[in-house]
């Protein structure tokens, strides 16, 4: 496994619409593993393939809804994901991004989403997510369409070091 370079704004490749994944071979499995390693090293809770210069519809997420630091986070691999259902309720909260370092913004997102995707082996799955997990999915899936959180944010700013320490990426 390898830690890959994360592409940062204003790199034009972050604005491209990613292509669907069609092969689930060893090279793809290695990429998934490398993306998890890269995300953890950053550190972050989600990473989309365009953020490492791969214009394919692939997202990895590692997140625990349990506040206990010792709780094992759950991992998600979303291939060719799409939101098939969402709540009417939206929530505005602070987001940051590994591809937009040093800034955060207030972004309105759906409180709950249902995502249809393939898993890392090409098998169909459907995931219902709410709260922070729903926010992470929406943020990462935006990357697949060339959309950054700064495009949706009402207010983008540089947080204080204390505020950065409390934010979830």
Q: What is the largest CA-CA distance in the chain?
A: 44
d(CA 106, CA 156): 7
User: Active-site positions?
Assistant: 140
Question: What tokens appear for 121 in the block?
Answer: 């082996």
**Calculated CA dihedral for residues 10, 12, 16, 19, nearest 10 degrees:** -110
CB 59 within 8 A of CB 48: yes
């Amino acid at each position: 496994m390898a830690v890959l370079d994360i592409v940062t704004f204003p790199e034009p490749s972050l604005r491209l619409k990613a292509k669907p994944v069609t092969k689930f071979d060893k090279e793809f499995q290695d990429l998934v593993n490398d993306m998890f390693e890269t995300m953890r090293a950053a550190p972050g809770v989600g990473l989309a393939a365009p953020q490492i210069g791969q214009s394919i519809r692939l997202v990895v997420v590692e997140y625990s809804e349990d506040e206990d630091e010792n709780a094992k986070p759950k991992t998600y691999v979303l291939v060719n994901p799409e939101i098939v259902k969402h709540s009417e309720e939206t929530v505005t909260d602070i987001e940051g991004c590994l591809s937009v370092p040093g800034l955060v913004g207030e972004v309105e997102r759906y409180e709950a989403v249902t995502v249809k995707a393939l898993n890392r082996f090409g098998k169909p799955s459907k995931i219902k997510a709410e709260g922070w997990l729903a926010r992470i999915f929406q943020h990462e899936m935006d990357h697949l369409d060339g959309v950054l959180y700064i495009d949706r944010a009402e207010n983008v700013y540089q947080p204080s070091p204390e505020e950065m320490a409390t934010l979830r990426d």
